Structure 1
Amino acid sequence: MTRPSAAPDTSGSGPTGRFGTGPAATSDQHSHASAPGPGEDPRAIAQARRGPTVPVPAGPAKHRAPAPEDGRFEQILETLRRQIRDLEFAEGLPGSEEGRVLQADVLAQLTDYVLPRVRRPDIPLLIAVAGSTGAGKSTLVNSLVGEQVTTTGVRRPTTNSPVLACNPADVDWFGEASFIPSLPRVRQQGLAMPGKDGMLVLAATEAMPPGVALLDTPDVDSAVAAHHEFAAKFLDAADLWVFVTTSTRYADARVWEFLQVARDRDTSLSVVLSRVPRKGRRQLLDHFGAMLEANGLGGATRFAIPETDQIQGERFTSNVADHIREFLADVAGEAEQRDRVSRRTFIGVIDSFRTRIPELARQVEAQIEAGRALGSAVDDAYATARRRIDTGLGDGSLLRGPLLARWQEVAASGELARSLRGKRARRSGRAEQAERGQRVAALEDAVRDALEALVVSACEHASEEIEGRWREVPGGQAMASRALNQPGTGLLAQQTRQEIAEWQREIAEMTTASGATKRSVARFVTFDPDIVTLILIIDLLGYEQSHSGGGAHAADTSGTSPQRLLKGLFGAQSLRSIGATARDNLRRRVLGLLQRERVPFDSALASAGIPSEDTAVQLYQATYNLEIAR
């Protein structure tokens, strides 16, 4: 929606929204204009009436909600609200803080302002009086109502209990069922008293005409941060803002943060500069007006309240606030004007979704991208670990150090030949059997140690790589710490050893069931399945590759080739089948170990609350649907 572009009249010939012009200037009050409608020049709005003692005269009690009547618009808004409500953001990752703020902001305005006005055409017009600490908001509200409905003084900045004044006929609308349902509230009885912190006080009074409510909000620059959020919640639910600041606070950054929100959403807005001293008044008002112009708020209706001690019973005693009362009388007194004010704010909010929801989607995309980076780090690290293990299992690199030494001991001792002995051969003595058992057990331990070291080393490298890459993503370090400290971590070595032991038993069973027992040689030759299993494992670990053509591992001079022994026992075809099955089984077990090792990282990602890949697309689509339905 296009904002009013015409500047207020500066000729000094009447009340047009410029400070210090017209008859009101002679009593040190600023002239005024009614809030402009969408695309209207403020000068075209009729001058407000003077003199009613009732703060806002009773006009038509209700205003029409600016929404289509076929229900489709409401359905689209409800779908959008549900999508935004269900959004999750991962703590600490890029977009989390900004995303949550935007999510809460848009969700609150959809829930508390837009959808209620679409569903019901008879909602009272809500005028929120907001602004700086000590600006006299409560005194102004009491003066506009014509009786004390809210407390003033030093207690107000330290409490967080906004007061809403309305006609008794409208008080039910502002109950828990309709107006900001999540907010606790209390109905005021008798003399105005502040409510508990965080509680809305409902002040029903016949001094307020039906269909209009005045809200005294918490200070936008309070020392308590929660008050800012509370004030923003009420401003998001209001149709018209009356923003009050003082001659000493109007340049504060917090003031302009709120005013710029009104500008960006094209909210119906009037600004009041209070406690204006007589000395330097003109320069002060001119400077404030220049700041409004510079910030795109030149079309806002403006008022000035002089520095005065004419206050009694927490109200102004003279005509200090008459010009503001008359402005509100004009806003609320005519159905057309009231509808214009509410429609302007409503349409401004809907227009703001064109940028606010895509911005929310961009924060979601930042989370998704961070999740992709974290997930890719896990995938890449364990893919590298798998390749390292695959290479180490077949290139003979494990056949060095203790494993090679134990193999050479067994091969040189003749154990391999004796393991394939004739059935009528003499049995070995007990001492020889014990010594042979020690050598075989040492070789078996060396095999398990080498395989365990390969798997553990690859997984440790993967974990270090993930931690390093996660550290590069804001918030990733904390996630990595949570993953590495999960219960059950640190058991890899034990699990690896168990898997290798079970794999060895599988090979022993295969060699017994599918090997020499099916060959005619089995009638004449017996063999030790444990030793045959070790021979097969040595062959599978790349013995031939490491000892062919010389090289670093050619120092094994035993002259015993595992493959030659195995072919003689099983035959080439059977040996290939057993070897392929054994390799597949080992790979399956190793992949299972890698999968278990990555579980803490995957769990950390799954529990972080990172939005799903299609979430941002759905938000963009919702924005498009909203535009089409308007």
Structure 2
Amino acid sequence: MRSRLDGASLPLATDGADDARRLAGDVLRQLDDYVVPRLRDIDAPVLAVVGGSTGSGKSTLVNSLVGRQVTTPGVLRPTTRSPVLVHHPDAARWFDDDRVLGSFARVRGGQAAGPQQLELVDAEALPPDLALLDAPDVDSVVDLNRETAVHLLDAADLWIFVTTAARYADAVPWEHLRGAATRGVGIGLVLNRVPSGSSDEVGPHLRTMLDDAGLDGAPLFVVEEQPLVAGRLPEEAVAPLRTWIGSLAGDHAARDELVRRSLVGAIDDLVRRTDHVAAVVDHQVAVAAWLEQGAVESFVDCRRRLSEDVRDGTVMRGEVLARWQDLVGTGELLRQLQSRIGQWRDAVAARLTGRARSVERFQGAVESGIEVLVAERVAAAVERTCLLWRSESGGAALLDAHDDLRRPSEDLGSRTARTVREWQGALLDMLREEGSGKRTTAKVLSYGLNGVALVLMVGVFAQTGGLTGAEVAIAGGSTAVGSTLLEALLGDQAVRRLTLRARADLDRRLDEVIGAEQERYTRTLDASRPDPGDADGLRAAGAELRAQVAT
């Protein structure tokens, strides 16, 4: 359980993740500070943690039980800053090393300076089978003191909870008492500083509250307000509590039952909390999958729309269409070509092979036109992905951590331009392959491969679905020129096959460009994706623990 919990990751900033991380840390500390050490050394002394509210007199009570000053009470709040563990000299071996409360540094000689240091004090007045630990306040104004108090209470075989007549109904102490009842840890409650003559009124009311909270078996010790003797309570005030503690430590059967009940309760509690951590891991796995699906769907839509742009004539708008007109000629030329095939061949050959600058301008316009379309479609996909990710705290945190994901990549334009140039070059290879070994090869070469490739390019783009008005006539005429020429050279079936191949090749190459944009999001998610097996492993360990405890 400890290994799986320590290895479980909650990398996404989803709702509840911070609480789950703290919960996992608390369970690990409880395992290290109490459960594992106690299981290894079941015969170690009972650790009774004296905890409670600010100013409740915990330190004075510990000094009174021991019979000398071992911990320092005070009037300034918070008083107990460093926990103090008091034990019999013969029991030092149980506490000098990190067997129990291993996360605390050991200090002797009154030199402890902070909550993460554990001051060890020996006292012959305590039985060898019992140790008392004076803990910081559970409601301290100092966060670290409160956290330390909780960790110490989680490491206890027995709680001695101290409150006062003025504060016994406060919410924070009762939160811890209810938790103790759920866990099954042994509890003794001390109602301290009760005004003289008020015991018969306050005591029964607190007893009723304890019964309602499921603590009907917890003994209640009432200590009235009275003068201190050498800074300690009179012997008769603490004698009942000392007797009860001594009976638990001295009676082996009672001691074993106390330790067993506390262990079983602690294990059941840590399994329950670990199940919660597993549920949050499951949630993060689901969130990561949802974020990935959103990104994938955005870029799938980007691919679909871009493919439509290629087929429906969108590419042939504007500059590309103007450059094609420059290259092929006027409408009058088109009319002449329809009636005189010989003039048509010569004119088109001259146009396609004799005006290199027009060819270059047309190729550049195609490259620029596709680049603009890709930029627009990718920008829309990025915006859609970011909008979806922003709707979930885990996705929003990833965008904040990776600012570049909020916009298309900086090299998108250059990669698109290079891809289009490579596609244009591939058209030449496609034409060579189609004419290879055929009598049409000479005809193709007579017009020049570059020129024929340009006409094939127009066949890929010039579909009238996206054009209107005069553009329809112009693009339609351009398509007719391209189709007629290619069919004359290669045959109508070959033209249809080449057009489909060229369009599919362009789609594939543009898919790779868009895929690289999508990969930025999936790669970021992969680096922050929890392992689905963590949740299953935690639950399996918890189920095994429950089974072991049951036997």
Same fold at TM > 0.5: yes
Q: 1:89 to 1:523 in 2, by over 3 A?
A: closer
Q: CA deviation at 1:582?
A: 3.2
Q: Provide structure 1 residue ranges, at least 5 long, that are not aligned to the other structure.
A: 1-79
Counterpart check, 1:133 vs 2:133:
no
Map 1:550-569 to 2 at 5 A. Answer: 553-556=472-475, 558=477, 560-569=480-489
Deviation at 1:236, TM superposition (A): 1.1
SS of equivalent to 2:120: strand
| Inter-partner Cα distance in structure 1 for 2:408 and 2:373 | 21
5 Å matches for 1:534-549?
534-543=454-463
Distance 1:493 1:157, change over 3 A: same
Identify the residue that residue 419 of structure 2 maps to in structure 1: 499
**Counterpart mapping for 1:211-222 below 5 A:** 211-222=129-140
Aligned-residue offset at 1:228: 1.5
Partner amino acid for 2:67? Answer: G
Partner of 1:603: 523
Q: Does 1:471 align with 2:363?
A: no
Q: CA 1:326 to 1:593, structure 2 compared with 1: closer, same or farther past 3 Å?
A: same
Q: How does 1:17-36 map to 2 (within 5 A)?
A: none
Question: Is the 8 Å Cα contact of residues 421 and 526 (structure 1) preserved in structure 2?
Answer: no
* Offset, 1:407: 2.0
Change over 3 Å in CA distance of 1:425–1:405 after alignment to 2: closer
Aligned length: 539
Mapped to 1, the partners of 2:100 and 2:270 lie a distance apart of 21
Q: Which of 549, 570, 574 is the aligned partner of 2:490?
A: 570
Contact 1:242 1:271 in 2 (8 A): yes
- 1:132 and 1:219 in contact (8 A); partners too: yes
* Alpha carbons of structure 1 residues 282 and 534: separation in structure 2 relative to 1, 3 Å: farther
Q: 1:628 to 1:532 in 2, by over 3 A?
A: same
How far apart are residue 330 of structure 1 and its match?
A: 0.9
Written as runs of structure 1 = structure 2, the 5 A alignment for 1:312-327 is: 312=230, 314-327=231-244
Confirm or deny that 1:296 pairs with 2:229: no
The Cα offsets for residues 473-526 of structure 1, whole Å up to 9 and x where unpaired, read as 134222223334369933212221122122222223333x32446432444652
Q: After TM superposition, list the pairs within 5 Å mapping 1:454-469 onto structure 2.
A: 454-469=373-388
| Correspondence list, 1:152-551, <5 A | 152-154=73-75, 157=78, 160-186=81-107, 188-189=108-109, 192=110, 194-312=112-230, 314-353=231-270, 355-412=272-329, 436-485=355-404, 489-511=409-431, 513-516=432-435, 518-523=437-442, 525-543=445-463
- CA contact under 8 A between 2:56 and 2:162: conserved in structure 1? yes
Query: How many angstroms apart in 2 are the aligned matches of 1:199 and 1:348?
Result: 27
Q: Report deviation, 1:336.
A: 0.9
Q: Which letter maps to 1:402?
A: E
Q: 2-side partners of 1:183 and 1:488: how far apart?
A: 50
Say if 1:412 and 1:558, in contact at 8 Å, map to a contact too.
no
Residue matched to 2:71:
150
Task: Please tell me whether residue 95 in structure 1 is matched to residue 16 in structure 2.
Answer: yes
Distance 1:149 1:450 in 2: 84
Matching residue's letter, 2:19: E
Counterparts of 2:224 and 2:112, CA distance in 1: 27
Distance 1:612 1:389 in 2: 35
Change (3 A) 1:542 1:160: farther
Gaps of 5+ in 2: none
Verify the 8 A CA contact 1:89 1:364 in the aligned structure 2.
Answer: yes
Taking a change above 3 Å as real, the CA distance of residues 263 and 402 of structure 1, as seen in their structure-2 partners, is: same
Tell me which moved more, 365-374 or 152-161.
152-161
Q: TM-score, normalised by structure 2?
A: 0.88
Deviation at 1:240, TM superposition (A): 0.4
- Give yes or no for contact 2:81–2:145 (8 Å, CA) kept in 1: yes
Matched, 1:619 2:538: yes
Q: Which one is further off, 283-292 or 520-529?
A: 520-529
Q: Is the 8 A contact 1:142 1:148 kept in 2?
A: yes
* SS in structure 1 of the partner of residue 159 of structure 2: strand
AA matched with 1:554: A
1:109 matches 2:27? no
Deviation at 1:573, TM superposition (A): 4.9
- Return 392-401 or 215-224, whichever deviates more: 392-401
| Mapped partners of 1:537, 1:204: distance in 2 | 92
More helix by share: 2
Q: Give 1:405 shift.
A: 2.6
1:455 Cα shift?
1.8
Identity %: 33
* Code of the aligned partner of 2:402: A
CA contact (8 A) 1:396 1:543 kept: yes
Distance 1:544 1:494 in 2: 29
Distance in 2 separating the partners of 1:584 and 1:376: 25
Deviation per CA, 1:412-456: give whole Å up to 9, x if none.
2579x9xx999x989999xx9999333222322221122112222
Maintained 8 Å contact 2:320/2:365: yes
Matched residue SS, 2:222: strand
User: Which secondary structure state, in structure 1, belongs to the residue aligned with residue 393 of structure 2?
Assistant: coil
Q: CA 1:593/1:168 → structure 2, altered by over 3 Å: closer, same or farther?
A: farther
**2:446 maps to amino acid:** T
CA contact (8 A) 2:463 2:475 kept: no
Aligned pair in 2 of structure 1 residues 551, 246: CA closer, same or farther (>3 Å)? farther
Correspondence for 1:47: none
Q: Secondary structure at the match of 2:86?
A: strand
The answer to whether the Cα contact below 8 Å between 1:482 and 1:604 also exists between their aligned partners in 2 is no
Displacement of 1:278: 1.7
Q: 1:128 to 1:393 in 2, by over 3 A?
A: same
Contact 1:265 1:352 in 2 (8 A): yes
Q: CA deviation at 1:344?
A: 1.3
Cα distance in structure 2, aligned partners of 1:485 and 1:546: 33
SS at match of 2:15: coil
Q: How many angstroms apart in 1 are the aligned matches of 2:347 and 2:5?
A: 83
Counterpart residue type for residue 154 of structure 2: D
* Counterpart contact for 1:408–1:558, Cα < 8 Å: no
Q: How far apart, in 2, do the equivalents of 1:104 and 1:596 lie?
A: 38
Aligned with 2:447: secondary structure?
coil
Contact 1:166 1:212 survives alignment (8 Å): yes
Distance 1:180 1:435, change over 3 A: farther
What is the match of residue 54 of structure 1? none
- CA distance in 1 between counterparts of 2:363 and 2:68 reads 95
| Structure 2 Cα separation of the partners of residues 585 and 434 of structure 1 | 25
Corresponding residue of 1:22: none
Give the 3-state SS of the residue equivalent to 1:309 in structure 2. Answer: coil
The one-letter code sitting in structure 2 at the alignment partner of 1:124 is P
